[in-house]
Structure 1
Amino acid sequence: MTDLFERTKALFEIPEGVIYLDGNSLGPLARAAKERLAREVAENWGGQLIRAWNTAGWIDLPARIGNRIGALIGAPEGSVIAADSTSVNLFKALTAALSLTGERKVILSDSGNFPSDLYIAEGVIRTLDKGHRLKIVAPEEVEAAIDETVAVLMLTEVDYATGRLHDMKALTAKAKAAGVVTIWDLAHSAGALPVDLSGAGADFAIGCGYKYLNGGPGAPAFIYVRPELQDKIRPSLSGWLGHEAPFLFDLDYRPGPSIDRMRAGTPPILSMTALDAGLSAWDGVDIHAVRERSIALCDLFIKEVEARCPDLVLASPRDGSRRGSQVSFRHPQGYAVMQALIANNVIGDFRAPDIIRFGFTPLYIGFEETVAAAEVLEKVIKEKLWDCPEFLKKSKVT
């Protein structure tokens, strides 16, 4: 197993001396992406020009990437397409899901959901203007809130702030029994832990390409639609590449076959190329082995930090089976603490109001770095390195 993770670590460019614990926000540069982008620009864009849509297969890249992602999230071929952003894909999924729910009006979510998902739901409600409402409950109250009044269950599997992990299989089963359509946000799941969309019976799923999938900043996202539903939905974003025959340039929209109808506009080929190259790091990697290692790394970090920094409060579940691939602690000056850590070459991030967040990606993080990061955190806390003006002033991105 050590040989596996030594091999994958060599696939990434991480600055010398830096301990990178923020792959749950932005994965590091894959060497393959750097090389592939240079080749794509020079040979295909530069040499083939517009011909590359055919000669280089650009037009089919979203489907090829979708199938690669599908293999990581338990989705069959032809059920995932890479496209747009997570928020745009949620809009597509939610409007499609609501078209299947008849007279039901409740969209059920939880207070641990990523705020952008809730904003999208609010926007969908205003846009449709059909009396839908968003019901938000505490994460632990979701199961009890699923009943025959609910139209759609919309959840993020791993809480972005604390790392708390929902039981997708159990919640989806209860939803299906109550006739509820399910949408899962896998932004902090895909590439972090085993996901089985088919086995769980999930209806829709979305996720981003720039976190654990290492696709680069602003990388294209993905959307999954259960195969049995694909031909039953008509996208609300009916763009030309989701058309049955886009190059006939018909004046009326006819949805394309299966998952292709979830495409909308022209795909960003250079970003798609980087994502495709970043996904190559997963070739020959068992996601179950990654999960086992992830839990061990997070458990070690919790043990080390609590021994060294007793004033920090663990915000993540202590049980590794109940959290994603991250660990979060609370501190009243969490933002400044994180800035001091970053200045000392341990990169994590901060989430308001008081969470310092550390993502553990076994593809490039090992046990030595985990202990070293805890040692630096101890120094920052005990010596109050965070207590200076440059660390207390917040930047636009936290």
Structure 2
Amino acid sequence: MLKKLANHINQNLPFLKDKKLLIAISGGVDSVVLTHLLSTLKFDISLAHCNFNLRPIECDIDEEFVKNLGKNLNTKVFTIHFNTTEFAKENKQSTQIAARNLRYDWFNELIEKHQFDYILTAHHADDNLETFLINLTRGAGLDGLTGIPEINGNIVRPLLKFSRNDILTFVKENNISWREDKSNASTKYIRNKIRHQIVPILKEINPSLLETFDKTTAHLKESQQIVEDKVDEISTKTTVTVDNILNIDISKIEKLSNPKAYLYQLLKDYNFTEWNDVSNLLSAQSGKQILSKTHTLLKDRGFLLLSKKDFSTALEITTEIDENTTLITKPIHLRLENVQEKSTENKQTIYVDKHNLQFPLRLRKWQDGDFFYPTGMNGKKKLSKYFKDEKFSLLQKQNTWLLCNNDNAIIWVVGHRKDKRFDKKKETNTLLKISTKN
């Protein structure tokens, strides 16, 4: 197995060489074997072990085992304790989902703090088959039937081409010890039920099941690529991004052979779950919206508007900017610079007469009754009328910021139009340059 893994890495995962690797290790046979293999192959590895406190005595023994393994292999070990049960209750998650979220959040902290290049997990071919069968029973689409990805961002699974039998043979031949999680034998969990009751029957029917399954997933991935290519083609014809808001043209979507299917493909990465509600937006009244945990999808006339939730503005916070401030990064990026001469002005950069400013300036969202004196226009204009004339969508209105004087007079509809009351006067040589550029 050692030689096969070395060849596999050389051919398919060469980027792991000379990189700083963090192995997620439970103490179970899979992650212990991965650790031994990569240690023998002289990779730069460290170990990360989570104590979830779900099996009070055994979890502590698992942790001690991993620490001793690290000492024996002269490998750095990181450990952490979680109150998983309490976290799951507070966040209304299953224990397994809570543990997964806690684990990967911590891994990402370790990566940032210690500059690891990749996280390695010990998923193998049998895990892949079990995941496929779980997703199949839950009615998954094509994405759920293509198996566990070998490479997913900075997560790599070097053992995915190896079977559980390969791993057990290796530990037997090399007299390697590991910790057995007794819960793995229980059929209380769906994965264990599939592992112990269903997969053995399938292997009895087809002794080469894993090899056959590998070919099947390869074919499914090829089909998935064809789908993604088609969706990319449709996306360019039906969507446009304006001010970080994805505009989906409803009339063009409805002309497609299966609008609901295409809508799913366009929006599947944005954490929506109620897909019937999403597709119903096509015929809903303007103003109707669907929320995911990360995004908002809003019906606005002939478009569906997708935007990322702006948690920083949920409470309509007003940010104050004092006279000595040169840079703010929240809730938006603004750079302020004292200059004597005015250069080119555009939507991202304005120049204002500093003598007309009353500090602290205020950055806020628009309100009913707001008005300003737009540059290039005569007189004052209600902001609501300006939005209408400029054909702002509902989401654009919600996401637009106003830079205001201390008396609340609008200086700038940020990124769009300046108020001419703050233009440079002939006698002034004290200007403030304000820019949205990084």
TM range (shorter): under 0.3
Larger % of strand: which? 2
Between Structure 1 and Structure 2, whose CA radius of gyration is higher? 2
Please, what TM-score do these two structures have when normalized by structure 2?
A: 0.26
Please, what TM-score do these two structures have when normalized by structure 1?
A: 0.28
